[in-house]
């Protein structure tokens, strides 16, 4: 008999003495609206509002948490239907049909035991899709059919789910060169629910393939001559204004290093001019990226966009995977990351400046108590983002609280933000975060380190108020 799928009402809450208190805290936050101001859901979903394709395309192929685990156990990316960059079908074409991909996933469901993907997926299966048995080789086809039927219904369209998911506001992530046309369409249809986020990474990394063409595109969009460095900065300022007009609240920066060190104008101009001609050293490119991080702080201090930084990931660790399947295929691996010295130029200039806000993320936990909490605990500009990526997990979130709260308190946090392309996982992610916080706070309560009335206030702040305060005030 297939194993019944029935997420426990107390899942991810502490056992023992703190359980009751944790239940009360979770009960007080579980129905708060969701603020999703750091997400990566494709704007096309909302703009077109067409039904989702099929279970594999909805739940497996685009979720690199899921595919990387399957790959780690020897399932080939082709068998999971990861699209090849050259568009060519693979030798195993037949096996990459959606139903086959889904079967592969179901047969390997045990691999996800103990991982947050499992928690999120169980939540989605049971509470969003109404499934009642666990995936397995035996149940794969039945589940495929059930999900297919479910997602074909009108109440399962992306926009309809916004309400069902209780999403108050969601942001997408958009390149500096995005024309925001889809956002414009959406703003007309559904005002104030979906806003863009300004992500200038591609234009800040001058040694990436195709950068000069991108800069031409940027200039055209901004109607500014980007053949000079000054024009480049002006174009970026322009684009930021366009994003702000479309409702953007924040920028987002994914750099290898947190270094935000300004160059002289002459140096910046020299590197920029060289790069336009395709003539740039790796060292210069890195220096320019750090310079642009600093410039982003300058611009945020001017225009008020919240600056989000998540550094420290070496992208595309396996170049063959990158060459064949492109970026974001689970082969990004963290490296040790430094913040104290790296952010000093920004913080000595803007750390105490009203209206400048810098939200810091990391996948290097060693900086939580050593650097991030001490920085957030003194600079008014700094808030700490939610545990990110690999650390957006029950134990990861718990460690984050334990490692930062004692130095930075609760009110220097950004509040929970999800960070996902997987639209269906959003309620599960917020719910899991609220459960972990409920458990952390309940443990403090039963250890008489926090009164329950204070814990309830803090829980609301972490789940909702602080995200509003950080991004929307």
Site for a second copy in 439-458 (CB under 8 A): 439, 443-444, 446-451, 453-454, 457-458
Spatial separation of the C-alpha atoms in residues 271 and 229, rounded to whole Å: 9
Q: Are 198 and 251 in contact (CB under 8 A)?
A: yes
Among 274, 303, 407, 421, binds a second copy (CB under 8 A): 407
Stretch near a second copy under the rule CB under 8 A, chosen from 55-63, 204-212, 219-227, 397-405: 397-405
246 contributes a contact to a second copy by CB under 8 A: no
- By CB under 8 A, the count of residues binding a second copy is 94
At 15 the three-state DSSP class reads coil
Interface pick for a second copy out of 119, 272, 288, 294 (rule CB under 8 A): 119
End-to-end CA distance of the chain: 53
Near a second copy in 77-116, by CB under 8 A: 110-116
Minimum CB distance to a second copy, residue 190 (Å): 35
Question: Rounded to whole angstroms, how far apart are CA atoms 30 and 8?
Answer: 15
- Using the minimum distance from each CB to a second copy, give the nearer residue, 81 or 396: 396
Report the residue number, 118 or 237, with the smaller CB distance to a second copy: 118
Residue 285, classed as helix, strand or coil, is helix
- Which residue in the set 23, 68, 193, 460 belongs to the binding site for a second copy (CB under 8 A)? 68
State the minimum distance, in angstroms, from the CB of residue 147 to a second copy. Answer: 22
Closest C-alpha among 447, 336, 333 to residue 390: 333
Least separation, in Å, of the C-beta of 200 and a second copy? Answer: 25
Q: Tokens 């702000």 correspond to what residue?
A: 244
Binding-site member from 13, 37, 292, 305 for a second copy (CB under 8 A): 13
Q: Which stretch binds a second copy (CB under 8 A): 70-78, 208-216, 279-287, 295-303?
A: 70-78
| Least CB distance to a second copy at residue 198 (A) | 25
57 in Cβ contact with 98 (< 8 Å): yes
Among 393, 414, 425, 470, binds a second copy (CB under 8 A): 393
Question: Based on the number of CB atoms within 10 Å of its own CB, is 312 exposed (0-12), middle (13-18) or buried (19 or more)?
Answer: buried
Provide the residue count of the chain: 473
Applying the rule CB under 8 A, the residues between 347 and 386 that interact with a second copy are: 347-348, 351-352, 354, 363-366, 369-371, 373-380, 382
**Interface with a second copy in residues 297-316 (CB under 8 A):** 314
469's tokens: 């305060």
Tell me whether strands 313-314 and 333-334 are parallel, antiparallel or unpaired. antiparallel
CB of 450 to a second copy, least distance (A): 6
For residue 163, the tally of other CB atoms under 10 A from its CB is 10
Spatial distance between the Cα atoms of 165 and 194, rounded to a whole number of angstroms: 14
């Amino acid at each position: 008999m297939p194993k019944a799928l029935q997420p426990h009402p107390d899942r991810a809450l502490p056992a023992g003495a703190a359980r009751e208190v944790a239940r009360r805290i979770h009960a007080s936050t579980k129905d708060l609206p969701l603020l999703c101001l750091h997400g990566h859901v494709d704007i096309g979903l909302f703009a077109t509002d067409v039904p989702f394709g099929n279970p594999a395309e909805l739940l497996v192929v685009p979720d690199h948490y899921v595919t990387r685990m399957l790959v780690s156990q020897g399932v080939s990316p082709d068998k999971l239907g990861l699209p090849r960059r050259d568009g060519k079908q693979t030798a195993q074409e037949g096996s990459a049909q959606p139903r086959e991909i889904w079967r592969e996933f179901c047969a390997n469901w045990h691999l996800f035991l103990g991982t947050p993907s499992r928690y999120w997926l169980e939540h989605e299966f049971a509470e969003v899709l109404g499934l009642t048995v666990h995936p397995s080789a035996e149940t794969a086809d039945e589940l495929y059919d059930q999900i297919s039927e479910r997602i074909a219904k009108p109440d399962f369209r992306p926009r309809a789910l916004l309400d069902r998911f209780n999403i108050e506001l969601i942001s997408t992530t958009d390149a500096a060169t995005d024309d925001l046309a889809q956002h414009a369409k959406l703003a007309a249809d559904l005002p104030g629910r979906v806003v863009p986020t300004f992500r200038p990474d591609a234009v800040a990394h001058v040694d990436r393939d195709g950068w000069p063409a991108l800069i031409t595109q940027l200039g055209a969009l901004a109607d500014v001559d980007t053949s000079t460095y000054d024009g480049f900065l002006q174009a970026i300022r322009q684009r930021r204004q366009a994003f702000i007009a479309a409702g953007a609240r924040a920028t987002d920066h994914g750099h290898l290093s947190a270094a935000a060190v300004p160059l002289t104008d002459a140096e910046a101009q020299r590197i920029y001019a060289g790069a336009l001609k395709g003539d740039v050293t790796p060292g210069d490119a890195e220096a320019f990226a750090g310079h642009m991080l600093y410039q982003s702080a300058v611009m945020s201090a001017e225009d008020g966009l919240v600056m989000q930084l998540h550094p420290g990931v070496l992208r595309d660790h396996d170049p063959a995977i990158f060459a064949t399947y492109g970026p974001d295929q689970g082969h990004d691996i963290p490296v040790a990351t430094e913040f104290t010295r790296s952010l000093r130029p920004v913080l000595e200039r803007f750390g105490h400046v009203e209206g400048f806000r810098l939200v810091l993320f990391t996948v290097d936990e060693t900086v939580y108590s050593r650097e991030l909490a001490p920085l957030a605990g003194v600079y008014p500009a700094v808030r700490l983002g939610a545990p990110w990526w690999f650390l957006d997990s029950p134990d990861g979130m718990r460690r984050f609280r334990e490692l930062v709260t004692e130095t930075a308190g609760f009110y220097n946090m950004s509040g929970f933000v999800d960070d996902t392309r997987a639209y269906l996982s959003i309620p599960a992610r917020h719910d899991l975060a609220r459960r972990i916080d409920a458990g952390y706070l309940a443990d403090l309560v039963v250890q008489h380190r926090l009164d329950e009335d204070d814990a309830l206030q803090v829980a609301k702040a972490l789940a909702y108020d602080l995200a509003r305060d950080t991004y929307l005030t």
